[in-house]
Each structure stands twice: as structure tokens, then as C-alpha cells.
Amino acid sequence: MKRKTGPIAGDLSVAGYVRIRKYVIDNIIYGEKKPQRLASMRELAARFGVGSTTVQKALKDLVTDGFLIPKTGVGMFTNPQSWRRNEEPRIIEFLSADGKQIYFENYLCCMSSTAAMAVTGAGYFLHHVDLFQNNAGAQAEAGPHSRGLLWIMPERATGGRTEEFFHAIPLPRAVIAGIVEGFDSVDFDREREGYELTQELLAEGRRNILVLANSNFSNREIGGIRRALAEHGLTLDDSMIIDNRLDLLEGFRNCCDRFGIPDAIYDTGGGPVRLWDEFHAREIDFVSRCRLVMADDRPSPVPCWMLKNDYSRLAASGMELLERRISEPGHAPETRLFRRDVYPHNLPQS
């Protein structure tokens, strides 16, 4: 039977391609400062468990990029001149969410890129951890010059495999934009934000609060919201929490049809973007009737209280904790929480 093929070659292993490329570049960085003969294609295929197509593609690209020099009848040789730095690299392993990201949404992209700049700005090289392959293979790529590991947004990792990798790798570790028990962590103080902003909503007479949450995340804001409401003898009914992983639009419509327009909408991240048209269709007055609380770097077409994501502060603090962990491995783990500033967006000046 004829094999069906798509636009991507079925016999090309992307993970194998990346490992071969890293293997060659590592040999240039860490090896002798003279050309070294590379193993044969057959040996490389066996070493990395890939087919000849993957090896050929990797070697061809390495030649094109100047890392390898082919010598007819002899073989491939590394090109030490492609690495023009005299010092040996200090490397930080960089784990973004579940280590298998293909597409990055706004928050993860902004946080990861800012944290990456904090790493390189401190004089380190950054190596992205690839968990498309097995955990053992990813751990093996943490070479002798790897000084530590940063995990960005651990709540975006599901299934347990990424957490197993993080706990098992024998390196100093720190977490940015999330909290992992027993490890240095930095994040926004979401529980405190939920509490204090709900107090302000209650002061405006807004008691009926709808929460847009995500069941994959800890949603620490909800704990703060509940605490503030309890102090006023109120509760947050579960029917007023919509999971934005599901059909957010349908959930919002059902809630409004059942309970009416809420006094406030508190978003824990990313929900309102999918509701702009519904807000417009219902002609919701976000100045007097309903208060929207959200955290997003993109402009809101409706008036709201906007939480400012200070990515640089988290990145700098996380890098500081990691460097302390590297130099003082016996230091007790620390969790740092920062409250975000809130500013009126598109609200009329009083």
C-alpha cells in the first residue's frame, strides 16, 4: 500500500535533528581548538536513534551554517572558528511551561522573552529545554557547563512529566511566574490582589462578582475574593465562576441570562478578549453598571481596572534567586510575591 505523506517529511525526526545539531556545536564549544573528525553518518544515526534522512539534513544545515567543513573522501570536520569566544560558556537551562511549546500566547511569550533577557544579560548562555523527547534525554543535554535551571510558568504544564523532570534534574533551580513548593519562586501576589480589589469593589457597592477563571491554574485570586466577601458576610457561589478553558461565551451568556449583568467581572487571565463582541451586543455599561478587572498587555476596548504585568520585576528577581542558589546551595527556599499596580483604562477622569 502506498504510504501517504503530508507537507512535512514523515521520516524526519525534529527532536533527533536538534540533538545532532547540539551535539556538534557542543563539541566545538567544549572540545579542542582544532578541527575534529565527526563520526560517520551511520554512527550518528545509531547514536541518536534516527534515520539517515534526519542525519543528512542536520549535517547539511551545519555545513551551511559554518559549523562543519566537509573534506571529500575523508569526512566531516568541526570548524572551531565558528565559535569566536575564548571563555567557556556558563549555561542556564530554560524550561518554558511544559517544555513542548509550539505556539506562545501573549503572557507566556512576554514572560519567557523577558526572563531570557535576564539570563543573557547576567552573562549566561540560554539553552531551551526540549521535552518533546523523553525526560532522560533532556536531562542528558544538561552538560557540565549548565549552572542552573529556570522554569517559567509551571502552571502551564499538565500531565506531571514536566514536574518530574524539574524535580529530577541535579541543578540549582528557580521558578518564575509560578510557585513550586520547596523551590525558590517568584510570582505576582494574586491572592492579595483578589482580596484588595474585591474590597474596593465592595466599597463601590458591587457585591455580585463574576469570575473568569481557568481550571488548569491555581486561581489564587479566587481565594482572595472569597476572603474579602466573607468579611462582609457574603459568599462567592460556584455558579459565578466560569472556566475559560471551556465554552466561555456560552458560559457568560448563560450566567447573564440567569442572574443578569453582574456588578463586576474579575478575570484571572485572558478571558475578556473572547467576550468583546458579547459585551458590545449586550451594551454593558462598564463605567457605572459593571466594573471589569483584568490583566492584559493589550488595550481593552471597554473601560476597566487594568493590572500591569511587570515582567521585568519577576525576571530580575527570579534570576537573583537562581544566582543565589548557585552560589549558596544550602540557602532556604524563598517565595517572593509582588502586587501588580492597577490603573484605570479608558475610564473617565473623576
Q: Where are the domains of the chain?
A: 14-82, 91-188+313-338, 190-309
Residue with cell 534522512: 53
Over range 310-332, report the average pLDDT: 97
> What pLDDT, on a 0 to 100 scale, did the predictor assign at position 4?
45
> What pLDDT, on a 0 to 100 scale, did the predictor assign at position 34?
85
Q: What is the CATH number of domain 14-82?
A: 1.10.10.10
Split at pLDDT 50, 70, 90, the class of 331 is very high
Split at pLDDT 50, 70, 90, the class of 188 is very high
Residue 102, pLDDT > 50, answer yes
> What pLDDT, on a 0 to 100 scale, did the predictor assign at position 84?
62
Residue 9, pLDDT > 60, answer no
pTM of the model: 0.84
Q: What is the CATH number of domain 190-309?
A: 3.40.50.2300
Q: What does each C-alpha distance from 186 to 62, 164, 191, 235, 254 come to in angstroms?
A: 38, 20, 14, 30, 37
Which residues, other chains included, contact 298 with Cβ-Cβ below 8 Å and sequence gap of 6+?
A: 106, 273
CATH superfamily of 91-188+313-338: Response regulator (3.40.50.2300)
Which amino acid type is present at position 105?
E
E-strand spans in 142-270? 146-152, 173-176, 184-188, 209-213, 241-243, 264-267
Fold matches, 91-188+313-338 and 190-309 = yes
Percent of the chain at pLDDT > 90 equals: 67
What letter would DSSP give residue 270? S
Angle among Cα 89, 142, 31 to the nearest 5 degrees reads 50
Summarize pLDDT for 207-250 with one digit per residue, the tens.
Answer: 999 999 988 788 899 999 999 999 999 999 999 999 988 889 99
Which amino acid type is present at position 257?
D
Instruction: Check residues 7 and 183 and name the one with the higher pLDDT.
Output: 183
> What pLDDT, on a 0 to 100 scale, did the predictor assign at position 338?
98
